[in-house]
Amino acid sequence: MKLFASLPPEWQLGLADQAPIINDIEERLNDFAIDGVQIVPGHFQIFEALQLSPAKVRVVIVGQDPYPNTSHACGLSFSVPTGTVPLPASLRNIVAELKSDVGDINVEDGDLSSWVAQGVLLLNRVLTTEAGKPGAHRHLGWQSVSTAIVRAVRQANPDVVGILWGKDALELRDEFASDMVVSSVHPSPLSSYRGFLGSKPFSRTNQLLVESGQLPIAW
């Protein structure tokens, strides 16, 4: 099935203007595959984050691009399959900050799908990469698609909270209401000690949700 056709109907409607870009990206991914390049995540997981409908999204966490490890990338930013050991370094820092910020948590195994069930969209800025090569697909045009995804969410819920970690994610700052953004440096080991650890993004997000009349997330 073609990538665009695999989207749920509400996302096909919200991303209709992105269909030509998605089709072009898919052609290029197919060319890479013909040349023996392994793409992550797998074809049917590229739009895994969009199984959550726009109307149900209350928080968007924006990552950079998928983990380049074939056993880690699952189509949800920062998340990994249950049972992954050890956790990727960025996710270890997220879990550490989560414990420091809110205490008891439900995601120590690295599977963040329980957040998705509560309306958290786990969106990468770039939706694919080459196995073993982070950032390999930054040039394909995915940024247009991820921007359109956020715009569709905002149209459905103007009070959505954007959690933006790092330079790539911060490109989307203006797509959210200015008072509904929680931001810091990226949680990677290279930057986490320069403002991510101690930033309390989870409690800050819940405060914004409650203030806008929404339920908090059980992180």
pLDDT at 106: 84
* Average pLDDT, 10 consecutive residues per value, the chain (219 residues): 96 98 98 96 97 98 97 98 96 96 90 97 98 97 98 98 97 98 94 91 98 97
Q: What is the spatial distance between Cα 66 and Cα 81, in angstroms, rounded to a whole number?
A: 13
Pairing relationship of beta strands 129-130 and 39-40 according to DSSP bridges: antiparallel
Q: What is the DSSP string of 100-141?
A: HHHSS-S-TTS--HHHHTTTEEEEESS--EETTBTTTTTTSS
CA 138 to chain CA mean position, Å: 15
User: Cα separations (Å) of 195 from 108, 183, 192, 207?
Assistant: 22, 10, 6, 20
> Which residues face 133 on adjacent strands?
130
- Spell out the domains of the chain, with CATH numbers in brackets: 4-211 (3.40.470.10)
pLDDT at 26: 98
Query: What is the identity of the amino acid at 57?
Result: V
pLDDT at 190: 83
Q: What is the spatial distance between Cα 4 and Cα 19, in angstroms, rounded to a whole number?
A: 6
pLDDT at 39: 98
Q: What is the spatial distance between Cα 142 and Cα 130, in angstroms, rounded to a whole number?
A: 14
Q: What is the spatial distance between Cα 91 and Cα 95, in angstroms, rounded to a whole number?
A: 6
pLDDT at 95: 96
Catalytic residues: 65
Cβ-proximal residues to 197 (8 Å cutoff; 6+ apart), any chain: 93, 96, 97, 100
